[in-house]
Amino acid sequence: MHILVTGGAGFIGRHVVAGLFARDHAVRVLDSFRPDVHQGARPIDGAEVFSGDVRDRAVLDRALDGIDAVIHLAAKVGLGVDIGDLPDYAATNDLGTAELLAAMARKGVGRLTLASSMVVYGEGEAQCPEHGAVRPAPRRAEAMAAGAFEPTCPHCGRTLGTTLVGETTAFDPRNAYATSKVAQEFYASNWARVTGGSVAAMRYHNVYGPGMPKDTPYAGVAAIFLSALRRGEAPSVFEDGGQRRDFVHVRDVAAATILACERHTTGVRAFNVGSGTPRTVGDMAVALARAVDGPVPVVTGRFRLGDVRHITADSSRLVAELGWRPAVAFDDGMVEMSRAVG
């Protein structure tokens, strides 16, 4: 196939492009090379590259010429620095996706693989010993300041147990990025309903690995920890370090994305993309510190409103329907990332 990858010069995008070439696809990249995301524009060997904004209709029409399928990765990521980031998330992610979908309709391109995120679930679902499966109540700043980080039952206030989150879990976006990802999924569903196109919405969990952005306000937690360790500093772990996540290696994410592009051809379907093995943020900090023989992480008790406490994936749908399985073990991935540069 001839595939357009938006955001193909980014962290996940470069791994997707490499994987597409390995499977003999022709690849075109559209990327804005935003300076707050890209630390210099590096070449992408073998790909036809369009430098431009996904909101530019003229650029989109040229980039979509002769394309069979689109992998849409271009987005402003992270939780946001402050409320002033809201317009940029809406303009970049919401409007950008809407313009892309409109251009795909104009050009007759009917297959979309969309980079969504586990953040659409918020805190997901949890188990109360009295009320069973419940949606966790929003965490309150005063409780977190007192060191009470665990979500509580909205009915009785008890501490909740964690569960794996499946794709049928209701949306509960709790920050600007999450809301923009929900919007992207809805826009894509609207497009598919009208055009008859297919959408695979890939709900990535916590992606890490070589090439991860660093030293920006939107860097992932693994990159932030590693940057501190390379400066000889102890990683600063928020809350008590007990936040549960599903850390999944970027090559596994790229492989899942490519399989979805190749194999999902009808209707709209969401797929969680996670390793299947929950870890804590503290686990990751310790693993990276051990890998570089660095200082022991420091648990700070600091917190950010809008962060979720626990979110871990049930990726069985992806395994059953697309034949994907993660290949990179957590400890091996941490060692590899600790040795990677940039």
For the entire predicted model, the pTM comes to 0.92
User: What residues does 115 pair with on adjacent strands?
Assistant: 202
pLDDT of residue 258 exceeding 90? yes
Query: Among 177, 187, 204, 208, which one carries the catalytic annotation?
Result: 177
Q: Give CA torsion, residues 104, 105, 109, 115, to 10 deg.
A: 50
The phi and psi torsions of 235 (rounded to 5 degrees) equal: -60, 140
Closest CA relative to residue 285, chosen from 227, 200, 211, 218: 227
Contact 42, 9 (CB under 8 A): yes
CB-CB contact of 67 with 107 (8 Å)? yes
Catalytic (active site) residue 187: no
Length of the chain counted residue by residue: 342
Domains defined along the chain, listed by start = 2-125+163-339 (3.40.50.720)
Tokens 């009785």: give the residue: 156
Does residue 307 surpass a pLDDT of 70?
Answer: yes
On whether the CB atoms of residues 32 and 56 are closer than 8 A, the answer is: no
Tell me the two tokens of residue 6.
Answer: 């938006």
pLDDT value, residue 40:
57
Split at pLDDT 50, 70, 90, the class of 79 is low
Q: What is the CA radius of gyration of the chain?
A: 20
For residues 53-60, average pLDDT: 96
d(CA 31, CA 69): 16
Q: What is the pLDDT of residues 164-192, one digit of tens each?
A: 999 999 999 988 999 999 999 999 999 99
If you write DSSP's letter for every residue of 234-294 in order, what string do you get? Answer: PPEE-TTS--EE-EEEHHHHHHHHHHHHHH--SSEEEEEE--S--EEHHHHHHHHHHHTT-
* pLDDT score of 342: 47
Do 141 and 305 touch, CB atoms closer than 8 A? yes
For the chain, give the mean pLDDT. 92
Q: What is the pLDDT at residue 219?
A: 55
- Could you read off the pLDDT of 14-50 as tens digits, one per residue? 999 999 999 999 999 999 987 766 665 566 778 899 9
List Cβ neighbours of 124 (8 Å cut-off, separation of 6 or more): 136, 163, 165, 169, 172, 308, 310, 311
pLDDT at 290 over 80: yes
Q: What is the pLDDT of residues 80-117, one digit of tens each?
A: 557 888 999 999 999 999 999 999 999 999 999 999 99
The whole-number average pLDDT for the span 289-295 is 94
Cα atoms found within 13 Å of the Cα of residue 267, Cβ hemisphere only: 3
* Residue 296: pLDDT over 50: yes
Buried b or exposed e, range 125-146, using 16+ CB within 10 angstroms: bbebeeeeebbbeebeeeebee
